[in-house]
């Protein structure tokens, strides 16, 4: 049977029929019509149908995926109201007697190509949106209904890649696993799979044309191997492996809601979740998160044309806080720029985006954005507390490299409080204020930052990138970006030591915190909080309970003696809990 190797993206084993997702392209031919008026009516009906579908999708997206995904469909709907686009369609059909499909194809392509000729990524993305809408109208012309949740039985979803618009189509109960030919471990497909807790492999070296629907497949999301049409013997082995994995997983899940205290510890270590939507918050609770160590707020700002209103922000934060029911939640303020462009905030193409105008650095030109966000967070927490619902809000600034940034942000935070007090709004009495440690300068000066904050959270992904001068999005060098590099480990150690000397707590919210071999290392460095993808929580809690602090300290001490990342990893992988 064919076996394809890919990158592991979400652990576990899935066995089931393949469902190959190929977005169908409608064939378009051009001809003259006899009755242009009837053809125009046909087209306006199709546009109306497409609009109705988009309204429904927007509502569905808001429910299952959050505001950023909903905004995509709202933008699509607005294209269908464009007077120039409608005017050109009308002229082609009524005056030139074109058939509706050809007119739709021609006019949408005219605009898409005009957008593609502008180089910025923003326009490229709008062109892709426009083509998506064209396909929708063409399908409506064929009288096709929206095919949400096409598969009738649970399947392994096989696709070239999945976009947010694609993933919203499927009924999540019917997906056993996800396999994509493209995308990396941080692609939308991978993030979705981890959030759903189903196995996934990405960048799988397969040709979709070779895989037929309903063929029985085995997906190992822990190794990244995808096998199509297994023999009975192979199937037997896979079932056994799946049973073992699931039994272990059940044990972990069964205890996921209990605190994780090391064998010789006198208090639990906090194991928290990294989340980026209301749905993620629900996942986090389900997987036993003690709190949220990183709430990414970009979803409120991406894929839209204007700032979210205060009311919209408050509404979203309230929903997340309510789901978390009083568990601590660390909210990272807006972190755009870098590889995430938001034109209405004034981010643009930069030669070195990761070293550019991003995250907290926007504070000088756009203090309004941060103050607005502080106001929304305080208002959401204040309202819930006034209603008798518990909230433990903690606010964290991203990409801090200078003490001045913290001082300025603190001023804005006070202004936001005063503004709310002035309007007679209830305020939470205690909100912790912290920073991300992801720039080496912040780690090196941790003793200077500590008096200004309540906590640190170490973002190991960026800290690695900046410490080692490796662009982690550049595939030729990304292999060098190991958080186990001794230089990165030394910065982590320094940060924790400086924080504890000032009585502050420290978390890690990068990939390192959810990587099993790192558990004794981080425990041994006396990390206070581990924050990770929700589905990793049960495994990490299980490991924390099986290690003792004494043995972990010894592991950490030895790990810090190596000079090579590879030696650190080999050493850690050879350790067993004790």
Partner 1 sequence: MPETFNATLTVRHAAGLHARPAAQFVKLAGRFPCKITVRKLNSDKPPANAKSPLSVLTLGVNQGDAIELVTEGEQAEEALAALVALIESNFGEPAAAH
Helix (H/G/I), strand (E/B), else coil: 105: helix
Which structure tokens are listed for 526?
Answer: 């006396």
Which structure tokens are listed for 451?
Answer: 């008096």
Catalytic: which of 106, 188, 257, 500? Answer: 188
Specify which residues 395 forms β-bridges with: 331, 433
| Rounded least distance, CB 301 to partner 1, Å | 12
Using the minimum distance from each CB to partner 1, give the nearer residue, 130 or 498: 130
| Rounded least distance, CB 84 to partner 1, Å | 3
Centroid of chain to Cα 385 = 28
Order of all β-strands in the sheet with 175-180: 3-5, 225-228, 216-220, 13-21, 155-159, 175-180, 200-202, 7-10
Using the minimum distance from each CB to partner 1, give the nearer residue, 349 or 578: 349
How far is residue 363 from each of residues 298, 446, 456, 508, measured CA to CA in Å?
A: 16, 21, 20, 24
End-to-end CA gap in the chain: 41
| Rounded least distance, CB 416 to partner 1, Å | 18
Point out which residues bind partner 1 (CB under 8 A). 78-79, 82-85, 87, 111, 114-115, 117-118, 122-123, 126, 130, 305-307, 343-346, 348, 364-366
Using the minimum distance from each CB to partner 1, give the nearer residue, 301 or 455: 301
What is the Cα–Cα distance from 385 to 394, expressed in whole angstroms? 14
| Rounded least distance, CB 115 to partner 1, Å | 6
Start-end of H helices in 27-150: 36-64, 67-79, 83-90, 100-116, 121-141
| Rounded least distance, CB 80 to partner 1, Å | 11
Using the minimum distance from each CB to partner 1, give the nearer residue, 104 or 329: 104
Catalytic: which of 42, 140, 217, 509? Answer: 509
User: Burial code of 408-423, b = ≥16 C-beta within 10 A, e = fewer?
Assistant: bbeebbeebbebbeee
E strands within 445-577?
Answer: 455-458, 505-508, 529-532
Residues in the chain: 578
Which structure tokens are listed for 478?
Answer: 């990304």
Centroid of chain to Cα 559 = 31
| Rounded least distance, CB 419 to partner 1, Å | 18
| Rounded least distance, CB 366 to partner 1, Å | 8
The secondary structure of residue 181, as a DSSP letter, is S
Using the minimum distance from each CB to partner 1, give the nearer residue, 344 or 490: 344
Using the minimum distance from each CB to partner 1, give the nearer residue, 123 or 571: 123
Residue 509's nearest CA partner among 333, 275, 294 is 294
Residue 521's nearest CA partner among 469, 557, 470 is 557
CA-CA-CA-CA dihedral for 65, 67, 72, 74, to nearest 10: 120
Using the minimum distance from each CB to partner 1, give the nearer residue, 344 or 578: 344
Q: Catalytic annotation on 217? A: no
Using the minimum distance from each CB to partner 1, give the nearer residue, 112 or 158: 112
What is the Cα–Cα distance from 290 to 293, expressed in whole angstroms? 9
| Rounded least distance, CB 31 to partner 1, Å | 26
Residue 272's nearest CA partner among 255, 262, 254, 259 is 259
| Rounded least distance, CB 517 to partner 1, Å | 44
Using the minimum distance from each CB to partner 1, give the nearer residue, 118 or 148: 118
What is the Cα–Cα distance from 576 to 204, expressed in whole angstroms? 31
Q: Catalytic annotation on 188? A: yes
Q: Which residues are within 8 A (CB) of 212 and not within 5 positions of it... i.e. 6 or more apart? A: 18, 20
Centroid of chain to Cα 421 = 34
Environment class of 493 (CB within 10 Å of its CB; exposed 0-12, middle 13-18, buried 19+): middle
Using the minimum distance from each CB to partner 1, give the nearer residue, 118 or 404: 118
Neighbours of 287 (CB within 10 A): 23
E strands within 238-368?
Answer: 270-275, 292-296, 328-332
How many H-runs (helices) and E-runs (strands) does the chain carry? 20, 16
Which structure tokens are listed for 330?
Answer: 């660390």
| Rounded least distance, CB 351 to partner 1, Å | 16
| Rounded least distance, CB 111 to partner 1, Å | 5
Using the minimum distance from each CB to partner 1, give the nearer residue, 115 or 260: 115
Supply φ then ψ for residue 224, to 5 degrees.
85, 10
Mind telling me the catalytic residues? 188, 509
């Amino acid at each position: 049977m064919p076996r394809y190797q890919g990158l592991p993206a979400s652990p576990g084993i899935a066995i089931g029929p393949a469902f190959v997702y190929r977005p169908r392209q409608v064939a378009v031919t051009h001809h003259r019509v006899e009755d242009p008026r009837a053809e125009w009516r046909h087209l306006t009906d199709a546009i109306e149908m497409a609009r109705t579908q988009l309204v429904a999708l927007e509502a569905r997206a808001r429910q299952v995926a959050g505001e950023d995904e909903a905004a995509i469909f709202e933008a699509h709907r607005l294209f269908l109201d464009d007077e120039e686009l409608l005017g050109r369609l009308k002229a082609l059909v009524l005056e030139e007697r074109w058939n509706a499909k050809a007119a739709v194809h021609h006019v949408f392509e005219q605009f898409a190509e005009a957008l593609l000729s502008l180089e910025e990524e923003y326009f490229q993305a709008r062109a892709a949106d426009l083509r998506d809408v064209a396909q929708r109208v063409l399908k409506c012309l064929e009288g096709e209904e929206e095919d949400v949740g096409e598969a009738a039985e649970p399947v392994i979803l096989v696709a070239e890649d999945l976009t947010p618009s694609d993933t919203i189509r499927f009924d999540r109960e019917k997906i056993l696993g996800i396999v994509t030919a493209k995308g990396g471990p941080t692609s939308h497909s991978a993030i979705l799979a981890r959030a759903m807790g189903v196995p996934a492999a990405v960048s799988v070296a397969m040709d979709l044309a070779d895989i037929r629907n309903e063929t029985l497949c085995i997906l190992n999301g822990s190794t990244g191997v995808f096998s199509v049409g297994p023999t009975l013997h192979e199937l037997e082995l896979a079932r056994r492996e799946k049973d073992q994995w699931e039994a272990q997983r059940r044990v972990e899940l069964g205890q996921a809601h209990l605190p994780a205290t090391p064998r010789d510890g006198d208090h639990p270590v906090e194991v928290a979740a990294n989340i980026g939507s209301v749905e993620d918050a629900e996942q986090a609770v389900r997987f036993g998160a003690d709190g949220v160590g990183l709430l990414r707020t970009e979803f409120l700002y991406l894929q839209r044309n204007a700032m979210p209103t205060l009311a919209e922000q408050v509404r979203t934060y309230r929903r997340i806080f309510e789901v978390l029911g009083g568990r601590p939640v660390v909210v990272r303020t807006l972190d755009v720029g870098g590889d995430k462009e938001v034109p209405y905030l004034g981010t643009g193409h930069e030669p070195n985006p990761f070293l550019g105008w991003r995250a907290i650095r926007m504070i000088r030109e756009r203090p309004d954005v941060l103050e607005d966000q502080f106001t929304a967070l305080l208002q959401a927490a204040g309202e819930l507390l006034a209603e008798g619902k518990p909230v433990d809000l903690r606010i964290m600034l991203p990409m801090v490299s200078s003490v001045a940034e913290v001082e300025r942000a603190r001023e804005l935070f006070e202004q936001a409080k005063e503004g709310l007090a002035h309007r007679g709004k209830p305020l939470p009495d205690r909100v912790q204020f912290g920073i991300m440690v992801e720039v080496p300068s912040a780690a090196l000066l941790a003793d200077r930052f500590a008096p200004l904050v309540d906590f640190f959270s170490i973002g190991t992904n960026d800290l690695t990138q900046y410490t080692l001068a490796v662009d982690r999005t550049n595939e030729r060098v990304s292999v060098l970006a190991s958080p186990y590099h001794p230089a990165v480990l030394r910065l982590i150690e320094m940060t924790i030591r400086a924080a504890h000397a000032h009585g502050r707590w420290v978390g890690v919210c990068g990939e390192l915190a959810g990587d099993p071999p790192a558990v004794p290392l981080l425990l041994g460095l006396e990390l206070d909080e581990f924050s990770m993808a929700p589905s990793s929580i049960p495994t990490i809690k299980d490991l924390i309970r099986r290690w003792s602090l004494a043995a972990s300290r010894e592991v950490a001490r030895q790990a810090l003696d190596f000079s090579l990342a590879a030696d650190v990893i080999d050493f850690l992988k050879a350790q067993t809990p004790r």
